[in-house]
A and B are shown apart, each in its own frame.
Chain A
């Protein structure tokens, strides 16, 4: 299958303040893209805008799946269309067990036409599948009975996000700093799991993955097909895996020097952020 997520000239503002200033990015299923850039360059903003967070206002440009504009869709509709985001700081939902949360979520995502109130997927099959995935991620079974992200450690939250991705089998996954808060072994396990999940994805086709990071260990295990550098709200350079290696050994000095306009925008944003 040749599903495509296409972002064209995307401008996004948060609380009226422009953050993204014309982003172009095309992700096909089966491709792994790394999105790198200094803090505040707009990486998470891009992820949230793709997922449909109401606080991120698209002022210009388009986001399309297979040519269909999804800007008017809410986050629920986007999730059902196969978009998933593993959040940097996922919300807790006290009083709601992981298993219950995921059963309803999986039901909706796997049956995009489901109406509210219709039956959920069978408890027995769901439990079996959840158990399997949890064991692959070396998560304790007790995890399923804990409340969603409530009192989770940083590492537990990240693993829980990967578990959700495994259960929801998205077409396109955005991983926002999924490696932060994990130790070296956990990063290795996470990246192997991501690769494995990608293979199993619905219909046998692999996921299109956007890995957002600025100091990535995840890439050691998940070599990107493309590396994009974001600066001042724009993707300024795209390369292969060697670009990712350059950036996390050498930093962004060369990039800033090569793209003075974006660097100026970055400085402007940083200044506004500190004066607020």
Chain B
């Protein structure tokens, strides 16, 4: 029996005063928070020999260097989002250190019953409506110590609720920034009722390129029957930010989800991304783009869970790695007994731009049904010198040739992304990184 020791900044007293500051919250939510806090106190930190954590070393992570976020007093100057260029938005939200700075929603959408904005505010105003969705526990609050901390102490956050049969033409955008030393425990909840349609663009940023910070968050996407969601998450924090997240989508009968992740920032990221196909004929496409440098460590566990028959899931993750950076991808396709006629695919390609970079790529299948089509693939390698020579024989310099090949490598993911502004924004963000590639990125020989 171990006795929980208080963590400076996250003591029981800190938690109580955190709850006191949120007096408008419904009782059921406060109860949920208390249960999660008790889990947080009792759970151990992930062990080094835990299969899920053995490739990701968090010994340098010390929670006591941070503290539960309080009131935001300063108003930071934030650069405009990368995803919003030339896009007419239906609503906008800006969050900072886990608190909403402002949010807005077009009147026309509000009058249709759409809710969008700070989850903090909307949970106090629409607690009864949202309660059943919270109680589904799409992300398990007791999954691990990080999940428990988040469930107990989340603040700020983003909510989109789209009522039955409502299709939103214009995308909604949420920017979530962290200040130097800041903590962001925000939660994202997207609910599309039957037949609803929406596009959600979310992105993260830091105030300065070397700002430190902590994000411990969750994303829950609930896509009800025949609904259609396109969800984009561009993670662009500074390389001083710790990023721990549990993300899960449920996609019901006839519904579809296109989920695109761009991961450029953070010092260390440990993300669990799960898609559950819960009703027949559901469809999920997952796209991931990563570009790492320095000593960044990005670890993604992806999980495609087929729970119902006739569903399709298609995942493609691509990463390019510079310097001493490292990526870990563990993919799993799980097909339940009931999920006959499943069509599932997963692929991960890694391009190593330095001999000191490292990519671990571990696909996995767990299939209980007998009439399914599941395929997977994984590649890791250096830039192909034969391709470099070919481009050089056409007048490209060596550096230009490498940039060309890297851009082409990512283009294959961009081709799958149907939202033009997102394709452009991700393309430009990658192009800027690629532009910085110099001769050392792939030394000759």
Contact = CB atoms under 8 A, between A and B. Distances in A.
A95 B392 contact: no
Interface stretch (B138-146, B237-245, B252-260, B381-389): B381-389
Contacts of B385: 54
B393 interface: yes
Contact of A51 (B384, B393, B401, B404): B393
Interface stretch (B17-25, B169-177, B405-413, B418-426): B405-413
Interface string A54-76: 10000000000000000000111
B407 A105 contact: no
A29 B426 CA distance: 47
Q: Helix, strand, loop or mixed for chain B's interface?
A: helix
A91 interface: yes
Interface of B: 384-387, 389-401, 404-405, 407-412, 415, 444-445
Given A54-B385, A54-B444, A147-B408, A93 B391 contact: yes
A142 interface: no
Nearest to A94: B408
Interface in A77-123: 78-80, 84-85, 87, 90-96, 101-102, 104-109, 116
The 3 closest A-B pairs by CB, nearest first: A95-B408, A95-B411, A108-B395
A32 interface: no
Given A74-B392, A116-B399, 5 more contacts: A76-B395, A91-B390, A106-B395, A108-B395, A168-B394
Given A85-B393, A90-B390, A104 B404 contact: yes
A96 B400 contact: no
Contacts of B412: 94-95
B389 A93 contact: no
A61 to B, nearest CB: 21
Interface in A152-194: 164, 168
B389 A75 contact: yes
A168 B411 contact: no
A99 to B, nearest CB: 13
A91 B396 CA distance: 15
Contacts of B404: 93, 96, 101, 104
Nearest to A75: B392
6 contacts: A53-B389, A80-B395, A91-B387, A95-B407, A96-B411, A101-B404
Contacts of B390: 87, 90-91, 93
Contact of A91 (B386, B395, B400, B409): B386
B384 A91 contact: yes
Contacts of B387: 91-93
Contacts of B396: 76, 104-105, 108
B409 A94 contact: yes
A76 B404 CA distance: 14
B393 A79 contact: yes
B395 A95 contact: no
B409 A79 contact: no
A129 B6 CA distance: 72
Given A104-B400, A104-B404, A95 B410 contact: yes
A116 B395 contact: no
B102 to A, nearest CB: 39
Given A54-B389, A91-B386, A101 B409 contact: no
Contacts of B386: 91
B392 A79 contact: yes
Given A90-B390, A101-B404, A76 B409 contact: no
A147 B410 CA distance: 13
A54 B410 CA distance: 27
Contacts of B444: 54
A54 B444 CA distance: 9
A232 B357 CA distance: 43
B20 to A, nearest CB: 54
Question: Which of A85, A92, A93 has the largest number of chain B CB atoms within 10 A?
Answer: A93
A74 B387 CA distance: 15
B395 A93 contact: no
B405 A109 contact: no
Contacts of A108: 394-397, 400
A101 B407 CA distance: 11
A36 B394 CA distance: 25
Contacts of A92: 387
B391 A116 contact: no
A105 B408 contact: no
B432 to A, nearest CB: 13
A54 B392 CA distance: 11
Nearest to A111: B395
B409 A109 contact: no
Contact of B397 (A54, A76, A78, A168): A76
Question: Which of A51, A54, A75, A107 has the largest number of chain B CB atoms within 10 A?
Answer: A75
Given A75-B389, A90-B390, A104-B400, A96 B407 contact: yes
Given A91-B384, A93-B405, A116 B392 contact: no
Nearest to A100: B404
B405 A105 contact: no
A105 B392 CA distance: 9
B393 to A, nearest CB: 5
Contacts of B407: 95-96
A146 B390 CA distance: 17
A164 B393 CA distance: 11
Contact of B394 (A74, A79, A94): A79
A90 B390 CA distance: 7
Contacts of B397: 76, 108, 116
